[in-house]
Amino acid sequence: MIPVIDLAPFLAGRPGAFAATAGALGRALEDVGFFVVVGHGVSQSLIDDTFAQARRFHAQPMADKLALRMNEHNNGYMMLGRYAVWTSDVNANDKPDLNEAFFVKRERGPDDPLVRASRRFAGPNRWPANLPGFRDSVLAYTDAVDTLGRTLLPLCATALDMSADCFDAAFAESQFSFRLTHYPPVAAEANQYGIAPHTDANFMTFLAQSEVPGLQVRMPDGVWVDVPYVPGSFAVNSGDMMQRWTNHRFKSTPHRALPPVGRPRYAIPYFMGPHLDTEIACLPTCQGPDKPPRYPPITYAAYLDWWYDANYNAARQRDVA
């Protein structure tokens, strides 16, 4: 069963709510790696507007979308049927996914240290010229969800028996990726999906829920279940960085999306990760004599280099006239 966690008592500072919420979050990440949050404080009007911006972007003529084709920083437009998570160890993914998407990362000015150093994934976002207000709406949403994500960090740390502030420095400037996805109601071939079975590369993913079904999670017993639709909620899952940092104490749970039937589905997942230069090394409370670290330390940037090149290589987006 996918837990539903009400954040309102914690956010309101009610007595005992911090410990209770940290316990609920820790159990969800250990048992399933997926949960639904309500009472999160992100305004429904902002969520609704962001879904509207996703519909607005994908309603553009194809020529306008192709003018924003994905760059080497994996920002911009990605065409339908051009990628899948080929590195997935959940399923032998051999068919491209049936969705198109537009990607945004943290907005950075020319004097930003990572921009001045020409760092990958810190390059410019690609914004549509003919959609007034689109950029401001998207950035308002990413700011709000980033704030929510950082609010949960002390809960994660406490659930891991670490000091409540242990993740704060790594996420003072998160390295996020935001995706506005359109799943058209098209027929799938065998072993083809809206998004094929995979785990996420980042630390934690926040998906504002919509009433159109499609998202499924593989439970610990191997059964795929629909994520329950709770109006006004976020579906939240941990990713590979969370699993790696915690030595598999917290799961990076496989999930997939089925193609919608009869109507399109739009999704606006926010993928939250630490600063690019963060070293992901097994936490001291997640290892011991009988549980040595499963992985050597790695920077988040190095992991992203491998993962994006293997799965979302921008060169695959450039071979269209």
Q: For the chain, which domains are there?
A: 4-316 (2.60.120.330)
Q: What is the pTM of this model?
A: 0.95
pLDDT one-digit tens code per residue, 212-261 = 889 999 999 999 999 999 999 999 999 999 999 999 999 999 999 999 99
Distance separating alpha carbons of residues 309 and 314, to the nearest angstrom: 8
Question: Among 124-128, 297-301, 304-308, which is the least confidently predicted range?
Answer: 304-308
3-state SS of the chain? CCCEEECHHHHCCCCCHHHHHHHHHHHHHHHCCEEEEECCCCCHHHHHHHHHHHHHHHCCCHHHHHCCECCCCCCEEECCCCCCCCCCCCCCCCCCCCCEEEEEECCCCCCCHHHHCCCCCCCCCCCCCCCCCHHHHHHHHHHHHHHHHHHHHHHHHHHCCCCCCCCCCCCCCCCCEEEEEEECCCCCCCCCCCEEEECCCCCEEEEECCCCCCEEEECCCCCEEECCCCCCCEEEEECHHHHHHCCCCCCCCCEEECCCCCCCEEECEEEECCCCCCEECCCHHHCECCECCCCCCEEHHHHHHHHHHHHCCHHHHCCCC
pLDDT one-digit tens code per residue, 76-98 = 999 998 777 777 777 777 788 89
CB burial class (10 A; 0-12, 13-18, 19+) of residue 203? buried
Distance separating alpha carbons of residues 275 and 303, to the nearest angstrom: 12
Reply yes or no on whether the pLDDT at 317 is more than 70. Answer: no
26: pLDDT confidence band, cut at 50, 70 and 90? very high
